[in-house]
Amino acid sequence: MSTVLVVNSGSSSLKYQLVALPSGEAIASGLIERIGEEVGNARHTDADGTRETETTIPDHDTAMRLVLAVLPPSPPDAIGHRVVHGGDRFSEPTLITDEVCAVVQELSTLAPLHNPANLAGIQASRAAFGDVPQVAVFDTAFHTTIPEHAWRYAVPPEWVTDYGVRRYGFHGTSHRYVGGATARLLGRDPSDCDIIVLHLGNGASVSAIHGGVCVETSMGMTPLEGLVMGTRSGDIDPAVIAHLARHGMSIGDIDDALNTRSGLLGLCGENDMRRVHELAESGDAAARTALDVYCHRIRKYVGAYLAVLGGADAIVFTAGVGENNPDIRARGLSGLERLGIRLDPARNAFNEAIISDDDSPVTVCVVPTDEEHAIAEQTWELVEGLAR
């Protein structure tokens, strides 16, 4: 058995999971929150249960030392870090070196909220774990196969060359993992499948996978484009930004509002889908509209991606909303019977793995995502390969 520590470091939080391979079992996991605030919080779960402590956690180095203190004494065989933006520089899991850290830092211009936070986790982990090999697994990597006609925006060429303005796509680890798991569920070779993956969590994105390779995805240069999300708008007319700026709003405020005060939150005051449903059921008109907008956007993308692929073998739902919410799945795919999509209401209601009826030309599935397991596997594959 090998063990891989998976680290997902945010600006004020650090999530970790110690994964045993090949089983994928989580030996321990935890979340450190409110790094840099007066009182931080550390929660750790292992075979002995869950322990929670409140203490001051000034920085990521301190957070990582807390992790080190609660893990089993023998170090992990490798450490895998989730890194949000790999730009067009990284298309594969990459062994972390000083040079790789420098490029992740450079790419911060494309992901100012994410890459510096990921890097803080990497540096703290390198300090705490010394010689253990560490690997960066990029959210963008699975999407580097998207053809130019899909990744290019129709903008002046120097925007691409000078500023990196193009579609990159995110949630790639999840799309790759769920796409592969769906092919296995169908008993098909991934190279012989066309699959649409709907990752519906707080963030949400769709991808079109042809023969195991991503050919289109809904998130763009940043994770703001595409579907309606918890707090992000998804697609809007880009002219809205200039319009608001002419009304005196600063670019920072507009950016902040589109990322943190839009989406479901902007539409009805709640970003958690469970709360949105409760409100809608109690008759709240804004919550009902929010669900309508959310589901309409899903349907629009499914139609578009069916066209991109020329038809699909499977449509698969994953992440918090996708795995648990029959209503969103049914409404997101309603009216698509003529396109070969027919749900079985009873299977859908019970979140079964296959929720379409037996005669549906397109199989509709629910496949849980497991990004930690996927990062652990990719990390170990690279490290084991290097040792050979």
The nearest distance, CB 149 to ligand ADP, in angstroms, is 29
Find the residue with minimal CB distance to ligand ADP: 320
Phi, psi angle pair for 56, to nearest 5°: -80, 130
The nearest distance, CB 275 to ligand ADP, in angstroms, is 7
Rule CB under 6 A: is residue 203 a binding residue for ligand ADP? Answer: yes
Q: By rule CB under 6 A, what string of x and - marks binding of each residue 291-320 to ligand ADP?
A: ----------------------------xx
Applying CB under 6 A, among 45, 91, 123, 202 the residue interacting with ligand ADP is 202
Q: Which is nearer to ligand ADP, 13 or 182 (CB)?
A: 13
**CB under 6 A: which stretch of 60-68, 101-109, 272-280, 286-294 binds ligand ADP?**
272-280
Among 211, 212, 110, 214, CA closest to 171: 214
Q: Which is nearer to ligand ADP, 36 or 320 (CB)?
A: 320
Dihedral over Cα of 304, 294, 181, 137: its sign: positive
**CB under 6 A: which stretch of 30-38, 92-100, 148-156, 270-278 binds ligand ADP?**
270-278
The nearest distance, CB 323 to ligand ADP, in angstroms, is 7
Instruction: Answer yes or no: are the C-beta atoms of 112 and 49 closer than 8 Å.
Output: no
Q: Which residues of 274-296 are buried (b: 16+ CB within 10 A; e: fewer)?
A: eebbebbeeebeebbebbeebbe
# residues contacting ligand ADP (CB under 6 A): 12
Applying CB under 6 A, among 30, 201, 223, 263 the residue interacting with ligand ADP is 201
Residue linked to tokens 């309603």: 334
The nearest distance, CB 171 to ligand ADP, in angstroms, is 9
Q: How far from the centroid of its chain's Cα atoms is residue 128's Cα?
A: 27
Applying CB under 6 A, among 69, 274, 307, 386 the residue interacting with ligand ADP is 274
Q: By rule CB under 6 A, what string of x and - marks binding of each residue 208-247 to ligand ADP?
A: ----------------------x-----------------
Among 287, 245, 240, 238, CA closest to 263: 287
∠ CA 331-336-338, nearest 5°, is 160
Applying CB under 6 A, among 272, 313, 344, 384 the residue interacting with ligand ADP is 272
In what helix (H) or strand (E) does residue 32 lie, and over which residues does it extend?
Answer: strand 26-33
Q: Which residues contact 123 (CB under 8 A, 6 or more apart)?
A: 60, 61, 101
Dihedral over Cα of 234, 374, 145, 88: its sign: positive
Rule CB under 6 A: is residue 6 a binding residue for ligand ADP? Answer: no
Binding to ligand ADP (CB under 6 A) within 64-103 occurs at none
Q: Which is nearer to ligand ADP, 172 or 230 (CB)?
A: 230
Among 203, 255, 185, CA closest to 82: 203
What is d(CA 373, CA 26) in angstroms, rounded to the nearest whole number?
Answer: 8
Q: Which is nearer to ligand ADP, 227 or 343 (CB)?
A: 227
Alpha carbon separation from 113 to 10, 119, 223, 238, 271 (Å, rounded): 8, 11, 11, 21, 20
∠ CA 83-384-9, nearest 5°, is 20
Q: Which is nearer to ligand ADP, 45 or 324 (CB)?
A: 324
Is it true that the peptide bond before 22 is cis, omega within 30 degrees of 0? Answer: yes
What is d(CA 188, CA 191) in angstroms, rounded to the nearest whole number?
Answer: 8
The nearest distance, CB 231 to ligand ADP, in angstroms, is 10
The nearest distance, CB 203 to ligand ADP, in angstroms, is 5
Rule CB under 6 A: is residue 10 a binding residue for ligand ADP? Answer: no
Rule CB under 6 A: is residue 266 a binding residue for ligand ADP? Answer: no
The nearest distance, CB 352 to ligand ADP, in angstroms, is 15
- Catalytic (active-site) positions: 139
As a whole number of Å, the end-to-end CA separation of the chain is: 17
**CB under 6 A: which stretch of 56-64, 101-109, 195-203, 218-226 binds ligand ADP?**
195-203
Rule CB under 6 A: is residue 324 a binding residue for ligand ADP? Answer: yes
Per DSSP, the three-state class of 191 is helix
Task: Provide the binding-site residues for ligand ADP, judged by CB under 6 A.
Answer: 201-203, 230, 272-274, 319-321, 324-325
